């Protein structure tokens, strides 16, 4: 099996089309291997042994295996939101907690569901519940997001994003 990747569409979600309760397209990564974990640890220069030293992780720390980095998982949930808003909206706020472990063999699905929407200035705000589940449906990275979307026929979302622009006349 090859590792799943996602190509971002330039056109992201439009506020008028969004419905509370709707699921946004998920992002799938994996199955994860120790090589994926090593590649990320090397990129960010993270020396925490639980990510590369199996003997230490399972013996000293009593873990089931080496762990997928939380720092990597956060980017997957960020990508989920950034992919949905595309190059036309903006992923303004993203919050999450590290609640569960993921290990080699896990296939991780970042998911999101719309919980609220409201017009704001010439744009729209959408709130989401987000998370990252493994193939058994176990949640490891629950969180929330707030995004800014353009309205149909409305002006583009300002970039660089400045929250003060939302309330500008």
Residues that bind another protein (CB under 8 A): 3-8, 10, 29, 36, 39-40, 42-45, 47-50, 56, 60-61, 70-72, 74-76, 78-79, 82-83, 87, 90-98, 143, 159-163
Q: Residue 16 in 3-state DSSP? A: helix
Tokens of 40: 């990320």
Give least dist CB 79 to another protein, A: 5
Give least dist CB 108 to another protein, A: 10
Q: Going along 6-122, which residue ranges are E strands?
A: 23-29, 90-96, 108-120
Listed in sequence order, the residues at least 6 apart from 11 whose beta carbon sits closer than 8 Å to its beta carbon are 86, 87, 88
Tokens of 88: 């036309």
Give least dist CB 36 to another protein, A: 8
- Closer to another protein by Cβ: residue 78 or 149: 78
- Closer to another protein by Cβ: residue 75 or 151: 75
- Closer to another protein by Cβ: residue 22 or 79: 79
Give least dist CB 98 to another protein, A: 6
- Closer to another protein by Cβ: residue 17 or 35: 35
Angle, helix 34-44 to helix 70-85, in steps of 10 degrees: 90
* Max Cα–Cα distance, the chain, nearest Å: 61
Q: Residue 47 in 3-state DSSP? A: coil
- Closer to another protein by Cβ: residue 19 or 88: 88
């Amino acid at each position: 099996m090859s590792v799943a990747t996602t190509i971002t569409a330039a056109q992201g979600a439009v506020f008028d089309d969004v419905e509370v309760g709707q699921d946004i397209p998920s992002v799938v990564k994996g199955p994860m291997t120790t090589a994926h974990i090593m590649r990320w640890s090397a990129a960010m220069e993270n020396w925490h042994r639980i990510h590369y030293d199996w003997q230490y992780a399972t013996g000293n720390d009593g873990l089931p295996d080496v762990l997928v980095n939380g720092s990597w998982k956060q980017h997957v949930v960020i990508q989920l939101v950034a992919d949905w808003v595309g190059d036309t909206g903006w992923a303004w706020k993203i919050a999450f907690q590290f609640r569960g472990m993921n290990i080699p063999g896990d296939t991780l699905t970042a998911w999101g569901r719309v919980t609220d929407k409201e017009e704001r200035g010439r744009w729209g705000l959408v709130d989401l519940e987000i998370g990252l589940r493994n193939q058994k449906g176990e949640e490891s990275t629950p969180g929330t997001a707030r995004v800014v979307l353009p309205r149909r026929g409305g002006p583009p979302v300002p970039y660089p994003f400045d929250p003060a622009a939302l309330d500008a006349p």
